Structure 1
Amino acid sequence: MADAASRLTTLAEDLLGVALPVRIRAWDGSEAGPPDSPVFVLRSRRALRRLLWKPGELGLARAWVAGELEVEGDLYEALDRIATLIWERGADAKDRVPFVRDPALRAAGRELVKIAGPWPPPPPPAEEVRRRTGPLHTKRRDKEAISHHYDVGNDFYALVLGPSMVYSCAYWTEGSTLEEAQRDKLDLICRKLALKEGDRLLDVGCGWGSMAIHAAREYGARVVGVTLSAEQAAFARKRIADEGLTDRIEIRVQDYRDVSDGPYDAISSIGMAEHVGAVRYRDYADDLYALLKPGGRLLNHQISRRPEPDETAYRIDEFIDRYVFPDGELAPVGRTTATLEDAGFEVRDVEAIREHYALTLRQWVANLETHWAEAKRLTSPGRARVWRLYMAASAVSFERNRIGVNQVLAVKTPEDGHSGVPLRPRVWSERADG
């Protein structure tokens, strides 16, 4: 058809009831929409079929991952402009595509279907996780989910994360580099945990060993790190050997639910609790509480979401669930702290660092884009595209306050009530030795 972009824009605006905030370029080379905005390039009718079949984020993601949809211009601005269309018009697809209810708009819907071409839509890109069955958050299912996300390849993660190999929110100051901000985050956690020479630290979800190495090298701690990823464990063990710290650090491929060699003086859980799930979170809190000695501290560093007016309406993000973190769940920070206290912890400090994660993600995206050809070679073009979209969209979500991240310090306070936490709880913001 001639001038597909104008026709698509008009039909989409009729259906959505709002002006499209981005420019469209269709497969015939035609363009329509605001002239000074990012351009969504539909390379084929297949992209349109995906968007019609799964309106919202999943259809958009499938077209993006398959390379049928591109963005020209600032990707962050493009995602920010369409945020209200994908995230903030309701979780139900019928709220975004009203022609399924409104007879006056059915003709526009039929016209879009006609333009898109023959049904059914193309199969999902190969990178998509198939629907899982069985109970959520069993040990087997969690191990499979972790493998999907973390066993992409250590070389790929090194391109994205940089030398620090820390895959969680950094702690920024003006002018700091990513490596400096990640070091400062690890050091802040060690100070909040009041680590000292000889303390036993359990690092739950230890990743590539960065927290374990920092705690052992800088504070003299004896560390056990557990992960479900064999690739992470192998990488961490080599780093630890290269640092000469094998006498202080043990890395296990082990579920945190199987750790039984407490008590520990401190536990760090950094970017791991998002995998636990609502049905297991109280068990998680109980297990960590049991592993601590009286007076021991837990630092729980976890992404949160905004509370829903009706919590029963909460749905896991489809794109994240299908392509990035299968079975991952976010909870409001209030629910997290309440569950920790129900398990017996005394919550002593909550630090919200939402803006820090947006800065971290933008740096990871920059690393990925700098090494784009290598990233595609190490994984696949589709997988590299998944990561670029996931990290850029997550940065926008943090910036828009759709999600946050918090460090919760909790203490297994002894019966005598002496928590050991300083009277002025933020003294850990600077090390005593300067």
Structure 2
Amino acid sequence: MSTTADRLTTLFTDTLGVELPVRIRAWDGSEAGPPDAPVLALRKRRALRRLLWRPDELGLGRAWVSGDLDVEGDLYDALHRFDRLAAQLSDVKVPVREVLKAAVGLRLAGPPPRPPAEEARAVAGAGSRHSKARDAAAISHHYDVGNRFYELVLGPSMTYSCAYWGADRRPGDLAAAQAAKFDLVCRKLDLKPGQRLLDVGCGWGSMAVHAAREYGVSVTGVTLSKEQAAYGRKRVAEEGLAERVDIRVQDYRDVADGPYDAVSSIGMAEHVGASQYRVYCADLFRLLRPQGRLLNHQIARRPDHRGGNGKREPYHLNKFIAGYVFPDGELAPLAGTAALLEEAGFEVRDVQALREHYALTLREWVANLREHWDEAVRLTSPGRARVWHLYMAASAVSFETNRLGVNQVLAVRPDASGASAMPLVRNY
């Protein structure tokens, strides 16, 4: 007599025509599938009900966040296997009638389960997409979960963007790699003592402190997160930099005290959105003096070459990340970003891809979370910690498989004659 796990693996193989790349453990303890593969543990029948009602990343994410579904073994291995499976299934038409028939046999009928409390449902009620009020609500959902939680995950640098690793990269060197990233940005901007730097999306003040302390510039940092701003101000005071660093809770669209000699935007533009990207570029251009430089450090969505019908929306995040991590976040292709910067009047001078660096950074963050798991759960919730675990591990795999990229784009505002005062060779 076949077990529940046997029935599930057979259903998958027969209806979709591909082998399941992981081992299944059903809620009744039965197992089936490759013996040496990671185990997909369906802890509750409800996990399949969630997937039946939402057969996509959101349904899978809801099952994971609620604890109805888990992975035993190497999570990265499992995610790589699922990524290859998604490529195999990109052109497969799901036989809905067969799936529904199997669902009745497995007693999966009933209304959709309530989504976990960690889902960002309230953001949609905060106004139109990428209005100032809704952007503030989206940022609050992601960042205002407690600075101590971020300290556990990000480490002492409190830097939530891709680090810059040397050729001798060693695990545990995250703080040094983040400092190297900030130094790379400062050198690209050619910062000099006495200059004014605007740091857009300044986070917890890490770039502002580094630039002021190491390069002698005056920095204005803006963020929409009140918790980030409070943390950054305290940090600035402890460093003795209060006269040179001003951390504000302010939308970048409301900054009016230019011109600045340089602008850094590190991991912030992903929140801007396609509808506001021209405004973003125009505002940063307006805030720079002639011959001033912009360093835009931004995740890019790579083209999907895995097949399929080609109807993918290039700016939108997958449904799990949009629902639980970055509400309203949008990823632009690199070419689109460069084109809009040029349209605003910038001259793009240099592009550096850091894709592999972000995969390494994310693995460090996942290791930090796992090391401090119990405290992370206590500070937030079991569901919130699970959101971060899956989001960061899956993102690492997306960078490793070239589904996502991240790039530093150096641009300059030419003066009236068209001159940019850039060196003939890269000197950073």
Residue 268 of structure 2 is matched in structure 1 by 272
Moved more, 179-188 or 8-17: 8-17
Moved more, 134-143 or 156-165: 134-143
Q: Of 167, 175, 178, which residue of structure 2 is paired with 1:182? A: 178
Residues 200 and 108 of structure 1, relative CA distance in 2, 3 Å threshold: closer
- Is 1:59–2:55 an aligned residue pair? no
Q: Distance in 1 between matches of 2:235 and 2:281?
A: 30
**Contact kept in structure 1, 2:156 and 2:175, CA below 8 Å:** yes
Q: Partner letter of residue 235 of structure 1? A: Y
Residues 128 and 108 of structure 1, relative CA distance in 2, 3 Å threshold: closer
- C-alpha displacement of 1:175: 3.2
Q: Distance in 2 between matches of 1:213 and 1:338?
A: 31
- C-alpha displacement of 1:49: 0.6
Q: Distance in 2 between matches of 1:38 and 1:107?
A: 27
RMSD after superposition:
1.6
Q: Distance in 1 between matches of 2:85 and 2:321?
A: 17
Pairs within 5 Å for 1:191-270: 191-270=187-266
Question: Secondary structure in 1 aligned to 2:106?
Answer: helix
Query: How many equivalent residue pairs?
Result: 418
Q: Partner letter of residue 152 of structure 1? A: V
**Contact kept in structure 1, 2:265 and 2:296, CA below 8 Å:** yes
**Contact kept in structure 2, 1:202 and 1:224, CA below 8 Å:** yes
* Gap regions ≥5 residues in structure 2: none
Report the identity percentage. Answer: 67
Q: Distance in 1 between matches of 2:93 and 2:153?
A: 36
- Is 1:337–2:338 an aligned residue pair? yes
Question: Secondary structure in 2 aligned to 1:349?
Answer: strand
Q: Distance in 1 between matches of 2:218 and 2:42?
A: 54
Moved more, 46-55 or 386-395: 46-55
Q: Distance in 2 between matches of 1:210 and 1:328?
A: 22
Question: Secondary structure in 2 aligned to 1:55?
Answer: coil
- C-alpha displacement of 1:116: 4.4
Residue 111 of structure 2 is matched in structure 1 by 120
Residues 313 and 233 of structure 1, relative CA distance in 2, 3 Å threshold: closer
Q: Partner letter of residue 49 of structure 1? A: R
Q: Distance in 1 between matches of 2:177 and 2:25?
A: 40
Q: Distance in 2 between matches of 1:108 and 1:339?
A: 45
Deviations 1:238-269 (A, max 9, x none): 00000000000000000000000000000000
Q: Distance in 1 between matches of 2:186 and 2:118?
A: 37
Question: Secondary structure in 2 aligned to 1:98?
Answer: coil
**Contact kept in structure 2, 1:178 and 1:360, CA below 8 Å:** yes
Deviations 1:144-185 (A, max 9, x none): 000000001100000000000000000001135001100000
Q: Partner letter of residue 83 of structure 1? A: D
- C-alpha displacement of 1:108: 4.7
Deviations 1:337-379 (A, max 9, x none): 0000000000000000000000000000000000000000000
Q: Partner letter of residue 142 of structure 2? A: H
- C-alpha displacement of 1:231: 0.1
Could you list the structure 1 runs, at least 4 aligned residues long, displaced by more than 2 angstroms after superposition: 84-90, 106-109, 307-316, 415-418
- C-alpha displacement of 1:195: 0.3
Q: Distance in 2 between matches of 1:114 and 1:268?
A: 57
**Contact kept in structure 2, 1:56 and 1:85, CA below 8 Å:** no
Q: Distance in 2 between matches of 1:305 and 1:51?
A: 26
Pairs within 5 Å for 1:136-175: 136-173=129-166, 174-175=168-169
Pairs within 5 Å for 1:12-411: 12-86=12-86, 89-90=89-90, 98-100=94-96, 106-130=97-121, 132=124, 134-173=127-166, 174-176=168-170, 177-307=173-303, 313-314=313-314, 315-411=316-412
Question: Secondary structure in 2 aligned to 1:330?
Answer: coil
**Contact kept in structure 1, 2:265 and 2:297, CA below 8 Å:** yes
Q: Partner letter of residue 25 of structure 2? A: R
Q: Partner letter of residue 169 of structure 2? A: G
Q: Distance in 1 between matches of 2:297 and 2:98?
A: 50
- C-alpha displacement of 1:55: 1.0
- C-alpha displacement of 1:87: 6.7
**Contact kept in structure 2, 1:79 and 1:393, CA below 8 Å:** yes
* Gap regions ≥5 residues in structure 1: 101-105, 429-434
- C-alpha displacement of 1:97: 5.9
Deviations 1:51-93 (A, max 9, x none): 1111121111101000111111000000110114447744xxx
Deviations 1:127-152 (A, max 9, x none): 01117255310000000000000001
TM-score normalised by structure 2 residue count: 0.94
Residue 432 of structure 1 is matched in structure 2 by none
Residues 282 and 79 of structure 1, relative CA distance in 2, 3 Å threshold: same
Q: Distance in 1 between matches of 2:242 and 2:83?
A: 47
Question: Secondary structure in 2 aligned to 1:208?
Answer: coil
**Contact kept in structure 2, 1:48 and 1:116, CA below 8 Å:** no
- C-alpha displacement of 1:312: 6.8
Moved more, 407-416 or 224-233: 407-416
**Contact kept in structure 1, 2:355 and 2:399, CA below 8 Å:** yes
Deviations 1:208-258 (A, max 9, x none): 000000000000010000000000000000000000000000000000000
Residues 75 and 114 of structure 1, relative CA distance in 2, 3 Å threshold: same
Moved more, 307-316 or 233-242: 307-316
Question: Secondary structure in 2 aligned to 1:34?
Answer: coil
**Contact kept in structure 2, 1:15 and 1:109, CA below 8 Å:** no
**Contact kept in structure 2, 1:347 and 1:408, CA below 8 Å:** yes
Moved more, 78-87 or 183-192: 78-87
Q: Distance in 2 between matches of 1:107 and 1:175?
A: 50
Moved more, 185-194 or 75-84: 75-84
